């Protein structure tokens, strides 16, 4: 169990053990991320060439690849250096030429002797009115013609790796590929009519027509499913492992929650109540909670977080809420502290700015249990931060928190319940891929009374009109954000842009009415600027994207985004989500610099037409692909070689269900199918997850 199964050894041997691959060429394969035969198996052809033999080039439309039988009629050696060597040939109806550059004549005389017949295959083109084939891909004696595949798969290549080398290496890999016992659910396999793994691999490498290259062929579907299943099995193992570790049953009394509810100017939405109930049920059990709270911007995740934290305090424990930025941490402090006070709960903040004696005092209070709830940045998880009795860790707005980091957090030696909150609605397939190890609560309902945000696209040439509009709105007591884009390579450039704009707007609206925040500001200045905007002292806040995530100022009802065309969809959605939080009707003005590229146009129109974060995320995925939407490197998502998150969403859901069912029936993977599934994990290089299989 601890080692790779022997049956897989040939696939994990050195590439130079393959026919046609030596130590030197094996290096070249790294260019296509192939370091062992196993990688070749999962590198599938992306297209194919029809090489069915024709009797003549007569009806061919050059340029095209063609295979014909010819008779060699004459050799015309190169007349000068750098000129080609030409060989005239006749097929059944036409004459044409084979052309070779830098060729050795003795070699050509031997392989293509005058008067003999050969089958040649290659690209036919017309040059100076003469049909010719430059360096045929194949030249074979007539009786060996069947060695040319009727349909030749075309693989991704890299320097030093030719199509021929690839074909040879793949053939050699296939010849050593074992039959493996089935890890797939039998009923699923029958229902989908998928082939066995080995047959699927063979079929995927031996397409006979273009149709065989489609992602929807049974062979490729099966192989994609295998990848997703291995990934989901890993997530399911992680989930089982966390759930198995004894957690602390944290049972609230609802005493503090009731006080906060009484102090709220509104009542929670149904979705918020549902999420709170799901969380408190999890926390009450002796398993570790590992839950994701997904809710679009403005859906009210903070209240859910507070209620959850209060449960821990009611039970005599502590909770921590971690935000990704200082601004957000402060905002949580400001929003939550009055409510906490109402309930008699001590809530404190800890960030990188706490130093020396002040920090020491906070750490002491924390370790003695005199701080009940801690909010902060990453600083809250520094080594020397000790809690008296930490029960719940909430991670806010951290869609970049990968599976591994979550596991690490869980391993902090404490039986901490974990709640991750994300405001980035992500398509279902990605949610399953990235958060498949978690249980999910969704806030699919916005607080009542929200008016839709009116979104308009405005050319930068109308900047003056926009400023006039702001003037009128500010006179009515409304507040606005003005977002300056990340235009340059460096922060410095962006900063200049934002500062310039700030000066310009301040000159227009007057000193004291306009604020500025950006990432490079001294922290204290940033806080001060934010505080002035929150209190309404400044009416207009010029900002770089530091306000993107989470910032909440209900009275701000206008969002101006300069150069909106260079922002991503998700980012624009987040920015717009900063307004539309209060009673007034809100406006979002997306200023763009014409002309718009086609994709920029599509992005901006999508935003103008919908405020539904899920719809927007689907468009984003479709436009950019999974890797860019969540960033594969940070997300901890494996790079799938065959599966495709954009197209295989349905398969991902199936895989998750299947993986969870398998583990429920066979938690230690010891049945026949379970053992086969272990082999799959090794094959997919997910063997680290085998460690997670429950011991005892
Ligand atoms: P997000 O999910 O983006 O973090 P917040 O928690 O910041 O959203 O909430 C956005 C705004 O909605 C806040 O001003 C908050 O007070 C308000 N809010 C939250 N829940 C409700 C509710 N049930 N009814 C009315 N307003 C609410
Ligand atoms: Mg929030």
Q: Does position 423 have pLDDT exceeding 80, yes or no?
A: no
The secondary structure of residue 450, as a DSSP letter, is P
State the pLDDT at residue 298: 80
Using the predicted structure, report yes or no on whether residue 546 has a pLDDT greater than 70. Answer: no
Q: What is the pLDDT of residues 181-215, one digit of tens each?
A: 999 999 999 999 999 999 999 999 999 999 999 99
Q: Are 535 and 556 in contact (CB under 8 A)?
A: no
Q: How far is the CA of 298 from the centre of ligand 2 (A)?
A: 7
Identify the weakest region by mean pLDDT among 94-108, 369-383, 541-555, 652-666. 541-555
Structure tokens at 586: 């809100």
Which one is predicted more confidently, 551 or 630? 551
Q: Mutation test of ligand 1: which of 297, 298, 330, 549 has the most ligand atoms closer than 8 Å to its C-beta?
A: 298
Q: 290 versus 8: which is more confidently predicted?
A: 8
Task: Output the pLDDT for position 379.
Answer: 86
Question: Could you tell which of 294, 322, 447, 451 is best to mutate to test the pocket of ligand 1, judged by most ligand atoms within 8 Å of the CB?
Answer: 447
Q: Which of 178, 212, 312, 207 is nearest to 253 (CA)?
A: 312
Which of 276 and 510 is assigned the larger pLDDT? 276
Query: Residue range 586-609: average pLDDT?
Result: 93
Q: How far apart are CA 534 and CA 581, in angstroms?
A: 13
176: pLDDT confidence band, cut at 50, 70 and 90? Answer: very high
Atom 26 in ligand 1: which residue has the minimum CA distance? 447
Look at residue 463 in the predicted model and tell me its pLDDT: 93
586 in Cβ contact with 580 (< 8 Å): yes
Q: 155 C-alpha vs ligand 1 centroid, how far in Å?
A: 52
Residue 332 CA to ligand 2 center (angstroms) comes to: 8
Cα 328 to Cα 182: distance, rounded to the nearest angstrom: 50
DSSP per-residue string spanning 207-276? -SSGGGGSTTSHHHHHHHHHHHHHHHHHHHHHHHHHHHSB-------SHHHHHHHHH-SS---HHHHHHH
Residues in the chain: 696
Mean pLDDT, rounded, for 484-490: 65
Q: Tell me the average pLDDT of the chain.
A: 88
Answer whether residue 489 shows pLDDT above 70.
no
Residue 152 to residue 174: CA distance in whole angstroms: 16
Q: What is the pLDDT of residue 518?
A: 82
Question: Rounded to whole angstroms, how far apart are CA atoms 412 and 409?
Answer: 5
Res 694 pLDDT > 60: no
User: In ligand 1, which atom is closest to the CA atom of 301?
Assistant: 2
The strand ranges marked E within 514-586 are: 514-517, 540-543, 556-561
Total Cβ atoms within 10 A of residue 448: 8
Quote the CATH superfamily of domain 52-148.
Nucleic acid-binding proteins (2.40.50.140)
Categorize the per-residue pLDDT at 696 as very low, low, confident or very high, splitting at 50, 70 and 90: very low
Q: Where are the domains of the chain?
A: 6-47+158-213, 52-148, 255-443, 453-610
302 C-alpha to ligand 1 centroid (Å): 7
Q: 300, 328, 395, 580: which to mutate for ligand 1, most atoms within 8 A of CB?
A: 300
Q: What pLDDT is recorded for position 82? A: 83
Protein residue whose Cα sits closest to atom 20 of ligand 1: 300
Nearest CA to ligand 1 atom 18: 300
Q: Are 652 and 433 in contact (CB under 8 A)?
A: yes
The pLDDT tens digits for 557-576 are 999 999 999 888 888 998 89
pLDDT greater at residue 548 or residue 299: 299
* Ligand that comes closest to the CA of residue 323: 2
User: Which has the closest alpha carbon to 606: 591, 617, 592?
Assistant: 617
**Residues lining ligand 1, judged by CB closer than 6 Å?**
266, 268-269, 272, 295, 297-303, 423, 447, 550, 552, 554, 581
The answer to whether the 255-443 and 453-610 domains have the same CATH topology is yes
CA angle 298, 304, 308 (to 5 degrees): 160
Provide the sign of the torsion angle of the four alpha carbons 62, 68, 72, 73, taken in this order: negative
User: Quick check: 410 pLDDT over 70?
Assistant: no
| CATH 3.40.50.300 at 255-443, yes or no | yes
pLDDT digits 0-9 by tens, 88-127: 999 999 999 999 998 888 999 999 999 999 999 999 999 8
> Which numbered atom of ligand 1 lies nearest the CA of 295?
2
Report the nearest-CA residue for atom 10 of ligand 1: 298
Q: With bands split at pLDDT 50, 70 and 90, how would you rate the model's confidence at 140?
A: very high
Q: Which residue has the higher pLDDT, 153 or 444?
A: 153
If you measure from the C-alpha of residue 543 to the centroid of ligand 1, how many angstroms do you get, rounded to a whole number?
22
Q: How far apart are CA 523 and CA 122, in angstroms?
A: 66
CATH 3.30.70.141 fits 453-610, yes or no: no
Q: Is this model's pTM higher than 0.85 or not? A: no
Interval 61-68 mean pLDDT: 93
How many Å lie between the centroid of ligand 2 and the Cα of residue 302? Answer: 5
């Amino acid at each position: 169990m601890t080692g790779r199964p022997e049956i897989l050894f040939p696939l994990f041997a050195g590439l130079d053990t393959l026919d046609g691959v030596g130590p030197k060429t094996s290096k070249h394969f790294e260019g296509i991320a192939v370091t062992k035969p196993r990688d070749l198996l999962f590198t599938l052809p992306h297209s194919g060439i029809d090489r069915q033999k024709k009797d003549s080039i007569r009806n061919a439309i050059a340029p095209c690849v063609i295979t014909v039988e010819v008779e060699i009629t004459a050799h015309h050696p190169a007349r000068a250096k750098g000129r080609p060597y030409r060989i005239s040939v006749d097929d059944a109806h036409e004459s044409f030429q084979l052309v070779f550059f830098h060729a050795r004549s003795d070699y050509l005389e031997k392989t293509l002797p005058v008067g003999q017949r050969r089958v040649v295959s290659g690209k036919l083109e017309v040059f100076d009115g003469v049909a010719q084939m430059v360096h045929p891909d194949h030249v074979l004696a007539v009786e060996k013609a069947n060695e040319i595949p009727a349909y030749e798969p075309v693989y991704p290549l890299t320097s030093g790796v030719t199509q021929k080398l690839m074909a040879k290496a793949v053939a050699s890999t296939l010849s050593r590929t074992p039959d493996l016992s089935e890890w797939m659910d039998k009923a699923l396999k029958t229902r989908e009519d998928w082939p066995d793994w080995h047959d699927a691999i063979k079929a995927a490498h031996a397409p006979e027509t273009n149709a065989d290259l489609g992602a929807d062929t049974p062979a490729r579907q099966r192989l994609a499913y295998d990848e997703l299943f291995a990934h989901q099995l890993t997530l399911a193992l992680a989930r089982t492992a966390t759930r198995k570790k004894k957690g602390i049953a944290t049972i609230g009394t609802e005493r503090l929650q009731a006080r906060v509810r009484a102090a709220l100017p509104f009542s929670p939405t149904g979705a918020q109540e549902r999420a709170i109930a799901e969380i408190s049920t999890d926390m009450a059990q002796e398993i570790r909670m590992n839950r994701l709270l997904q809710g679009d911007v403005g859906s009210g995740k903070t209240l859910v977080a507070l209620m959850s934290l209060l449960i821990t305090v009611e039970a005599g424990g502590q909770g921590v809420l971690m935000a990704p930025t200082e601004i957000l941490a402060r905002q949580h402090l400001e929003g939550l502290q009055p409510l906490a006070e109402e309930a008699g709960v001590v809530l404190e903040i800890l960030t990188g700015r706490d130093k020396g004696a002040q920090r020491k005092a906070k750490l002491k209070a924390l370790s003695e249990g005199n701080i009940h709830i801690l909010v902060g940045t990453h600083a809250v998880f520094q080594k020397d931060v000790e809690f008296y009795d930490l029960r719940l860790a909430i991670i806010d707005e951290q869609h970049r928190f990968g599976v591994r980091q979550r596991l690490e957090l869980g391993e902090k030696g404490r039986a901490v319940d974990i709640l991750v909150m994300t405001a980035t609605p992500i398509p279902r397939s990605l949610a399953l891929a990235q958060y498949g190890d978690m249980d999910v609560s969704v806030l699919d309902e916005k607080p009542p009374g929200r008016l839709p945000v009116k979104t308009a696209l405005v050319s930068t040439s109308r900047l003056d009109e926009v400023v006039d509009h702001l003037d009128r709105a500010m006179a009515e007591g409304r507040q606005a954000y003005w977002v300056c884009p990340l235009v340059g390579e460096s922060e410095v450039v962006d900063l200049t842009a934002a500062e310039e704009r700030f000066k310009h707007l301040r000159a227009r609206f007057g000193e004291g009415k306009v604020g500025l925040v950006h990432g490079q500001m001294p922290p204290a200045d940033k806080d001060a600027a934010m505080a002035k905007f929150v209190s309404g002292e400044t009416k207009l806040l010029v900002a770089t994207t530091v306000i993107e995530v989470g910032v909440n100022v209900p009275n701000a009802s206008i969002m101006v985004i300069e150069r909106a065309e260079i922002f991503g969809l998700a980012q624009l959605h987040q920015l717009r989500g900063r307004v539309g939080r209060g009673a007034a009707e809100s406006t979002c003005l997306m200023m763009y610099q014409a002309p718009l590229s086609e994709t920029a146009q599509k992005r901006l129109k999508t935003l103008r037409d919908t405020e539904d974060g899920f719809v927007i995320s689907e468009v984003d995925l479709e436009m950019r692909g999974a890797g860019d939407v969540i960033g594969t490197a940070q997300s901890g998502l494996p790079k799938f070689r065959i599966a495709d998150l954009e197209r295989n969403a349905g398969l991902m859901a199936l895989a998750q269900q299947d993986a969870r069912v398998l583990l429920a029936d066979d938690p230690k993977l010891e049945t026949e199918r379970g053992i086969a599934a272990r082999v799959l994990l090794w094959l997919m290089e997910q063997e680290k997850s085998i460690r997670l299989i429950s011991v005892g």
